[in-house]
Amino acid sequence: MLGYGAAASGVAFLPITVMIGVFSLLVAPRVIVRWGGRAVLIIGLTLIGIGLAMLSRAPVDGRYWFAIFPVMIIMGAGGGLTLPALAGLGMAAATKDDSGVASGLLNTTQQIGGALGLAVLSSLAAARAAVELAGGVSSPAALIAGYRLAFAVGTGLIAIAVLITAVALRGAHQPGSGPAVG
């Protein structure tokens, strides 16, 4: 456990925020036009899955620069690719009259899905940590065991999302159908 306070924790999360910004504003628009939203969504989800898989193996005594920072970079890149691709795919078939409703539905679904996912995964982590503590494991080791389970389940959910994207969105948002990038 790193023992970071509020300010240090905020700074520690800065790389993921920067990567999301850079990839969503500078990289994603270009690659979506070139490869299509489906391919970019699959790449972004895969990067997020790799980051979660790395976190599912985080050691109890891991250090930020080796155990967390690389994950922040990978997951930030994945998030920066995934969010614009998902928005483009979600809005691609909306008519002018339906665009407001489609946008609202897309944003609401993202918010509810994120909250539900966080609730389920944090509940799994807490339950696993409680079992570990009851078994006499130290508090840091119990917490890490809980987080590892949550990240492993998250990795599995991302794998399912990649599969659904690959199958269900076949032919969706082909290269060249995106916005012009200058």
Is residue 130 a part of any domain in this protein?
Answer: yes
Query: Is the CB of residue 49 less than 8 Å from the CB of residue 71?
Result: no
pLDDT on residue 182 = 38
Is residue 134 a part of any domain in this protein?
Answer: yes
Count of structural domains within the chain: 1
The torsion of the CA quartet 154, 52, 133, 2, rounded to 10 degrees, works out to -150
Is residue 174 a part of any domain in this protein?
Answer: no
Residue 175: band (very low, low, confident or very high) from pLDDT cuts 50, 70, 90: low
Is residue 48 a part of any domain in this protein?
Answer: yes
Is residue 179 a part of any domain in this protein?
Answer: no
pLDDT on residue 179 = 47
**Residue 82 sits in a domain of what CATH number?**
1.20.1250.20
Residue with token string 């628009």: 29
pLDDT on residue 171 = 72
Is residue 70 a part of any domain in this protein?
Answer: yes
Mind listing the pLDDT tens digit for each residue in 109-164? 999 999 999 999 999 999 999 999 999 999 999 999 999 999 999 999 999 999 99
Question: How many Å separate Cα 40 from the centre of its chain?
Answer: 14
Residue 1: band (very low, low, confident or very high) from pLDDT cuts 50, 70, 90: low
DSSP string, 79-101: HHHHHHHHHHHHHTT--TTTHHH
Which range among 90-94, 96-100, 161-165 has the greatest average pLDDT? 161-165
Residue 180: band (very low, low, confident or very high) from pLDDT cuts 50, 70, 90: very low
Mind listing the pLDDT tens digit for each residue in 42-88? 999 999 999 999 999 988 888 999 999 999 999 999 999 999 999 99
Is residue 173 a part of any domain in this protein?
Answer: no
Is residue 39 a part of any domain in this protein?
Answer: yes
Q: The domain containing residue 48 runs over which residues?
A: 6-168
- Cα–Cα distance, 93 to 169 (Å, whole number): 12
pLDDT on residue 170 = 85
Question: How many Å separate Cα 145 from the centre of its chain?
Answer: 20
Percentages (nearest 5) of helix, strand, coil residues in the chain: 80, 0, 20
Mind listing the pLDDT tens digit for each residue in 15-32? 999 999 999 999 999 999
- Cα–Cα distance, 177 to 26 (Å, whole number): 18
